[in-house]
Structure 1
Amino acid sequence: MPTDHTLDPAVRVQGIEKSFRELQVLRGVGFDVSAGSIYALLGSNGAGKTTLVRILATLLKADAGTAAVSGFDIAASPAEVRRSISLTGQFAAIDEVLTGRENLALIAKLRHRKDPGGIAEDMLDRFGLTDSGNRRAGTYSGGMRRRLDIAMSLIGEPEIIFLDEPTAGLDPQARNEVWHTIRELAAGGTTVLLTTQYLEEAEQLADRIGILHQGVIIQDGTLAELQQLLPPPTEESVIRQASLEDVFLTLVGDTGRRAEPGGGSSAAADERESR
């Protein structure tokens, strides 16, 4: 009898392990991401977030475990996985000499898309960059650069987009711009897997949150489900709704304090671990 894959998760990760020499970065990571949802992988610097994303994007090989992206096994069908996804890394991969319009048209040509100019115009309009389309990308603000980077990633209409620390180093206004973009992607049916060290970002965006700590997912669930992990307030305490920060610090403790509420610390540790 044929198997119906329409209800399968867009991303399924089971028992992924990865070490770099004696350093064990991932120690049996597993979670599912539903199609059309936003899943936030939350963890402090060095937790293994970037390493995991690079494995799912077929840029690194896992030492053990399995994963399927859009129904394709990452080890057995890497080409099909790459056709199904887009990856936006921690730093905007744009050509600063070219204009925003030229960056988009270039990617459309490289993807062998018809009417690259028309695609560029559509993307500029979709991401609110039409008025700055003829400016060199090197003159863009941080939020504009990130939106252009995401727009370039979406040419070819991938089913799934991986966003690795999408707002690292951005000011609050630019961060809000990127958040709006991410929400619109999910509303349009794109599956979003994002990594973040910012508690507020996961709290604001994610349908489900996986807390990655010391190479494993220690908890996974909706914000409401994670809030239920905390003990009820005592009569002496002020009754308020538990925040994701409360949950994170209860589960991880002071060792995870660099997963900041509003952010500021560098994400370089996760980048280093993948080299």
Structure 2
Amino acid sequence: MIIQAHGLRKTFTTRSRKGVQTVEAVRGVGLDVEKGEIFGVLGPNGAGKTTTIRMLATLITPDAGTAVIAGHDLLKEPAAVRRHLGYVSQAGGVEDTASARAQIMMAARIHGVADPGRATAEALDRFGLTELADRPGRTLSGGQKRRVAIALGLVHGPPLLFLDEPTTGLDPQNRANLWDRIRQLRESGTSVLLSTHYLDEADALCDRLMIVDHGRVVAEGTPADLKREVSGDVITLRTDQPGRAAETVKALARETRVDDDLLRVYVDDGEHTLPGLLRALEEQGVSLTSIALDRSTLDDVFLAKTGRTLRDAGAAA
């Protein structure tokens, strides 16, 4: 294991016109990350993802809990922990005035890299930045800046990289490009701890993930296992009688969930269940305006664990 964390907690106290408020951002989070895997922390905004990563990166101190990272105790050996990881925040940290080359070179020197020039050239090449190396940060696109930010986090060759919401604000093409870069990190042996609120990102990239909500872990496993745990397929019906429809099909389903005019029916085998389900609804005079058959998604997992969808909780998919 490259990360073993147990019982992490963090509470923040804020003062405003409304008085003193206490917010439990992280409530007993634990996670184990294997060497050479991409591990995701999925959840809505405000779920505690960033706070968890900042604690593990030694940027803030946990109120409780323990962690061993790359063989070093988080609380007793923070300097050693920092030497073994790279950290890329949501903001990225790319300066507007300095060139990519200058910024990466400075990071290499700060980390005490033996040959900063060679390490910088390798980082630029690795992330397809050589032709952009001498342009100031303000002239780079959002996707290019994210690649520079990751190069800054990896120039000293750490075995572990923390990526906090790495693709927020990127267009689909740049997101896909960055996904490929992250997969290449895993192939080269780098472990990646990635936080995201994008369902497709967690599903596409993560070997394993945990879903967090209100500072707690509500589910953990591979994306496939988590979806299989909920159900094999989900039939989504749109009707003006969702309650009556749910009562009609409950004998055919593992579970049903009503969300306004939508009824989600969770079944083991959607293709074989669907004809009987439609016959039952027709016999009861329940009319439908649309119907869809899909594999369960991570949003269905979040819904099953929390009672609401990830989108409803304040995260875009």
Q: Under TM normalisation by the shorter chain, which class is it?
A: 0.7 to 0.9
Q: Give unpaired runs (5+ residues) of structure 1.
A: 1-8, 262-275
Deviation at 1:239, TM superposition (A): 5.2
2:303 is aligned with 1:249: yes
Partners of 1:183 and 1:131 lie apart in 2 by 22
Question: Which of 4, 29, 46 in structure 2 is aligned with 1:12?
Answer: 4
Partners of 1:76 and 1:19 lie apart in 2 by 21
- Of stretches 108-117 and 180-189 in structure 1, the one that deviates more from structure 2 is 108-117
Q: TM-score, normalised by structure 2?
A: 0.76
Q: Deviations over 1:136-173 (max 9, x none)?
A: 12101101100011001101111111111111111111
Residues 1-275 of structure 1 aligned to structure 2 (within 5 Å): 9-21=1-13, 22-232=22-232, 233=267, 235-236=273-274, 240-254=294-308, 256-257=310-311, 258-261=314-317
Deviation at 1:68, TM superposition (A): 1.1
Partners of 1:136 and 1:64 lie apart in 2 by 42
- Of stretches 129-138 and 230-239 in structure 1, the one that deviates more from structure 2 is 230-239
Q: What SS does the aligned partner of 1:167 have?
A: coil
Larger % of strand: which? 2
Q: Is the 8 A contact 1:121 1:130 kept in 2?
A: yes
Deviation at 1:49, TM superposition (A): 0.7
Q: Give the AA of the match of 1:130.
A: T
Bigger Rg, which one: 2
Which runs of at least 4 in structure 1 moved beyond 3 Å after TM superposition? 237-240
Q: What SS does the aligned partner of 1:254 have?
A: coil
Partners of 1:114 and 1:82 lie apart in 2 by 17
Deviation at 1:14, TM superposition (A): 0.6
Deviation at 1:50, TM superposition (A): 0.8
RMSD: 1.6
- Of stretches 227-236 and 153-162 in structure 1, the one that deviates more from structure 2 is 227-236
Q: Is the 8 A contact 1:199 1:259 kept in 2?
A: no
Q: Is the 8 A contact 2:302 2:309 kept in 1?
A: no
Cα distance change of structure 1 residues 65 and 37 upon mapping to structure 2, 3 Å threshold? same
Partners of 2:60 and 2:134 lie apart in 1 by 37
Name the count of aligned residue pairs: 253
Partners of 2:309 and 2:25 lie apart in 1 by 16
Q: Percent identity at matched positions? A: 42
Q: Is the 8 A contact 2:299 2:309 kept in 1?
A: no
- Of stretches 157-166 and 235-244 in structure 1, the one that deviates more from structure 2 is 235-244
Partners of 2:114 and 2:58 lie apart in 1 by 27
Q: Give the AA of the match of 1:201.
A: E
Partners of 2:111 and 2:27 lie apart in 1 by 36
Q: Give the AA of the match of 2:126.
A: R
- Of stretches 48-57 and 222-231 in structure 1, the one that deviates more from structure 2 is 222-231
Q: Is the 8 A contact 2:302 2:308 kept in 1?
A: no
